Structure 1
């Protein structure tokens, strides 16, 4: 059951400003937004707490963490989906694009990782259909061009799946995220407990995949996004030349550009720059790439993603608001802008007629402390 409510005497985070006021939610939708400090009968006095739109997450690896809580451990998927959903609700995320890898390696037993995208997507959609989830879930297919089965796996999806985002991923060593091969070696060997003498062989294998299948896989991904009606995203653009290719494909989102050069080129091509919340909170990239705060200072940062730490989404947006001296601008990177760029026109703003996705938080020594979360007018955290 949806909860009709009045939240009064709150600091409302509007698209372009913050004001003291109240908000009315009826039948899961925002019915009124007013200014002033009055607390009418039946209203909840927010005592100046912030009320903002529910957060919108475009790229998170969090579901995979729940599916594989330890190496070689495959947790029951429905249980993992529910746990993932509850965790996101608990940190203020009310809309998520669940990132699912498409494209697998099956020929070499030493480097094998299998397909799972179609099954996982069906399980998410089923849980959504049967009302098992607290927040809104959409599909984000991460197309691994450096793989063997990408074309076949993309063919398993269609417009009926309502895929929201397709991202073009190229994890060939020595470029994009891991231009520094020493950092790539440290990451891969640590993640897979790979011996030193196996690393060069692994890289050669990936180079071979890129050479033989890379162009074919890029074309298949672009074509699939058009077939699905999905927004197309690039990943880890590093040079202006790579951005030019992204623009030629019709890409609208740039996930984690690794250099100022790439971020500037994205802006020139009307491609929105997404940076990681962990990068912002930690003060830099764990891969040695451009710091999110540097792009913020150059006004080249459009959207924040929590990436691998769900709680970083609200914290990083608030930190941006404090850094810019404009809380509305900071929160827009996780509300209005991601909604606009993924054509979710019914959320992301505190306006009459918008979906009743809301969060309430206050600042304690500069850190946001969530007090409540609502999804479509229902209290979910």
Structure 2
């Protein structure tokens, strides 16, 4: 048992000061006024030293594992080592539940990544699953990102789903001219950023992408139905029109990842979908692709969830930056990385907020400089898995 004292507890409604939090087993036992509960020698007292006591962060979309497994385009590290080292990093950023977002790409033509080859993705999926069922630090989940031209991979994906190795499924279409790359000039600049290709070569890539075979609407609907039958949440990716929103909702998508414009984000919310933006977008002050500005969208009330996307450190800093720079309520900003993602994947009965009876995934967050928050303690399932002491 643990008693956390001397901190500011972030609940669903407010920030409580002058209260203690008791952990018993893997649960939040009670929240009481400071000094009301007298601990005995069986209870370890943790002094939060004036820091914030927050729920653990839930990251629904991050391909950081790809970077850890392949830190250079042609350098593949041992995958088991990569997953183990990744989770050690994640806890330092407060991420206690990670949906590793592995891409099931057919090809990108201009930015070849061997980590995205079918056999490598299969190995990583298996290792993520095995890690979660052996000694581990964080709650490992698999977010399958299916590029809809990868028709040959559907059978394998169904096998992963049937084996309970998939926990979130998103459909992606990175064809230039729509979605993330609706602006072809940005697409051309992206290609040139990855490779030294001529304008003529880029034109050939554009033509090939726009003529390639894709999964049909009926095929997407059938696969989505199969996933829903296995209690898997469905997400769409880079929604760029009202028509696409209606389409993705027709096959059961409840999450809109990275809506392209503020209008689409607002409409997705109006339609009852959860909306996701990248936390790096907050730190950068806007989208690296020239699309939706996350700070603007959050201020407009059109974003429910922040994900780390490719930079795990961004979650913590984005929460405090939205409060400090944009005067957004801190309790509501914490919900973007805790309660709201838990609701989107229907885990809010267990995770995402500090409430008696819920699973004790908790963080202590201190500021070592006026505007620099750090994680100094991490609890997962009621166990203290990390304590960091700045000197």
Match of 1:342 in 2: 345
Identify unmatched segments of 5+ residues in structure 2. Answer: 387-391
- The structure 2 residue matched to 1:11, chosen from 1, 8, 15, is 8
On the 8 A contact 1:163/1:228 being kept in 2, the answer is no
Q: How big is the shift at 1:281?
A: 1.1
Decide whether the 8 Å contact of 1:151 with 1:217 is kept in 2: no
| Contact 1:103-1:151 at 8 Å conserved across structures | no
> Contact between 1:105 and 1:149, CA under 8 Å: does it hold in 2?
no
> How far has the Cα of 1:155 moved from its partner?
2.8
Q: Contact 1:9–1:38 at 8 Å: present in 2 too?
A: no
> Does the 8 Å CA contact 2:105/2:147 hold for their aligned counterparts?
yes
Aligned CA RMSD, in angstroms, stands at 2.4
1:22 matched to which residue of 2?
A: 20
CA distance 1:153–1:200, change in 2 (3 Å): farther
**How far off its partner does 1:156 sit?**
2.6
Asked if 1 retains the 8 angstrom alpha-carbon contact of 2:168 and 2:233, the reply is yes
Give per-residue Cα distances to partners, 1:58-114, cap 9 Å, x unaligned: 000100111111011111110111111111111100001111122424999x99963
Question: CA 1:8–1:248 in 2, change beyond 3 Å: closer, same or farther?
Answer: same
Within 5 Å, give how 1:2-81 maps onto structure 2: 4-20=1-17, 21-36=19-34, 40=38, 43-81=45-83
Q: Would you say the 8 A contact 2:234–2:252 is kept in 1?
A: yes
Structure 1 match to 2:389:
none
- CA positional deviation for 1:182: 1.7
What SS does the corresponding residue of 2:359 show, helix, strand or coil?
Answer: coil
User: Contact 2:74 / 2:113 at 8 angstroms: preserved in 1?
Assistant: no
Is the counterpart of residue 236 in structure 1 residue 233 in structure 2? no
User: Conserved in 2, the CA contact under 8 Å of 1:103 and 1:149?
Assistant: no
Q: Structure 1 residues 326, 213: CA separation in 2 closer, same or farther (over 3 Å shift)? A: closer
Tell me the number of residue pairs that the alignment of Structure 1 and Structure 2 aligns: 376
- Answer whether contact 2:2 2:22 (CA < 8 A) is retained: yes
**Offset of residue 192 of structure 1:** 4.4
C-alpha distance in 2 between matches for 1:304 and 1:372 = 22
Structure 1: stretches of 5+ with no match in the other structure: none
Partner of 1:301: 303
C-alpha separation in 2, matches of 1:60 and 1:193: 28
Q: Tell me if structure 2 keeps the 8 A contact 1:243–1:266.
A: yes
The alpha carbon displacement at 1:226 in A equals 2.1
Q: Secondary structure at the match of 2:102?
A: strand
Residue 36 of structure 1 deviates from its aligned partner by 3.7
Distance 1:217 1:153, change over 3 A: farther
**Separation in structure 1 between the aligned mates of residue 169 and residue 344 of structure 2, nearest angstrom:** 13
Superposition deviation, residue 43 in structure 1: 2.5
Residue 193 of structure 2 corresponds to which residue in structure 1?
Answer: 190
Instruction: Give me the whole-angstrom Cα distance separating, in 2, the residues matched to 1:51 and 1:44.
Output: 11
> How does the TM-score come out when normalised to structure 1?
0.91
The offset of 1:190, in angstroms, is 2.4
Q: Which residue of 2 aligns with 1:155?
A: 158
Call closer, same or farther: CA 1:30–1:281 in 2, change over 3 Å: same
